[in-house]
Amino acid sequence: MNWKLPNQLTVGRIALAGAFFVLLGMYEQSSPGAQWLLNAAFAIYIVAGITDVLDGWIARRYHLTSAFGRIADPFVDKVLVVGAFVMLTGSNFAMTADGKFVESDWPHWLTGGMCTSVQAWMVVVILAREFIISAVRGYSESQGEKFPATSVGKIKMFVQSLAICFALFQLANLRFSAWAAAIKIALVWLAVIVTVLSGLVYIGRSRALLRSDKK
């Protein structure tokens, strides 16, 4: 592996993702340190986002791009984002210790009574998009064609991260605020929509590669 600084930052982000998931897994609404756990997870996600920006900037600025970076960097981003959305569907983000739902953010007809910050079908949509694009990227690289992230992908990542960060902040500090809950819902929906649209853009871009392969 090309062990340059951008790749070191990418690998370091994997460690941050592990710590992030541990904190979310430890979270229980009734526990004394619940707010601290969410705020710590929020801070770790911000740091991971900063390293993501830095490794890309350093790689471009000092011409340190590599095949490992083009594949591993978006892969780590997907692990962090999809993992965060998966964790937010957990019952520990919907129920108190006595089993009563405390979140009423989502309309009943959308949730079937299960009130969580993120709905399971949303994770399926996001995960499907990431699997498809990862397959296309891997195929492209195997054919010797670079398939770096585009501005559309970066916008998608930003919106997803904004939704995750705001959801964590709202659950930790603005739990009973109606306006904060409304913003959280809007951001989660926006993240899903942008994810789908960016996937369509990448699929359109990959058609040229597939056509050239048939010739």
Residue 129: which CATH number?
A: 1.20.120.1760
Give the pLDDT band of residue 73 (cuts 50, 70, 90). confident
In this prediction, residue 209 carries a pLDDT of: 64
| Distance, CA of 150 to CA of 204 (rounded, Å) | 13
* Nearest one of 92, 89, 59 to 74, comparing CA atoms: 59
| Distance, CA of 43 to CA of 58 (rounded, Å) | 22
Residue 215 in 3-state DSSP?
coil
Give the pLDDT band of residue 115 (cuts 50, 70, 90). low
Average pLDDT, the chain: 81
- Inter-residue contact 82 to 129 (CB < 8 Å): no
**pLDDT score of 99 more than 80:** no
Total structural domains in the chain? 1
Of 211 and 71, which is predicted with more confidence?
Answer: 71
List the domain range (segments joined by +) for residue 192.
5-214
